[in-house]
Amino acid sequence: MGAGVPPSVERSEAPDRVRDVSRQRLDPHVSLDQGAAVPSSSPVRVRPMVAEDVPQVIEIERRAFSTPWSGKAFRDLLEHDEVLLRVLEVPDGEAVDQEGEHRVEGSGAATPPEGEDSTARGAVAGYAVTWALGREGELANFALAERYRGRGLASWFLDALLAEIRERGVRTLFLEVRASNEPALRLYRTIGFQEVGRRSGYYTHPPEDALIMLKEL
């Protein structure tokens, strides 16, 4: 899954090394089923990605994408203020069960609760990369590890991300998704994204059109 802005929309350009890695998007086999709602309190949290997370992120990336980003690409993006890199963290070694028996901590804030040791990290269940460029944003990369799909975590993660970028002043969020990626399309439509265009032959491995979607925040 990724982001892009229709040619008619004016926008500021990100630095080349930021813009270049945004070209790879979700493959149609990736499942992001919404699943059951996540209960209202838990050790599950959204926080900023750090360099120590990259090995876990790359493991998810390689399983989710036919043309995965490199570890260097993620590490380079960590140096850019206009790029929000977030991870969905769960207790280390713990899976969400079929009933979603986890409490979601707070409102999805991207910082640890007051007094919590920020170095005590759990397992990375998913991650997101978003450009925040003035009033416009792009969801450039989003994936969950397969074992955590179908539990409501994808929609909760996106809700937390949307709340954060709205606070940063972003008012319009774009993304691109393979036209055949029905699980992702269902998820995006459920949280309010609308199709606004199509890029013919945008994807490779395999070749496919990209649907451009938009959400007003």
Q: What is the DSSP letter of 38?
A: P
Which is nearest to 153 in space by CA: 109, 192, 108? 108
Unique residue bearing structure tokens 């992702």: 184
Q: Angle at CA 175, nearest 5°, toward 169 and 178?
A: 170
Active-site residue list = 176, 188
Name every residue whose Cβ is closer than 8 Å to that of residue 140 and which is 6 or more positions away in sequence: 2, 3, 21, 22, 129, 130, 131
Residue 105 near residue 45 (C-beta atoms within 8 A): yes
- Neighbouring-strand partners of residue 142: 128
DSSP string, 90-115: E-TT----TT---PBPTT--SSPPTT
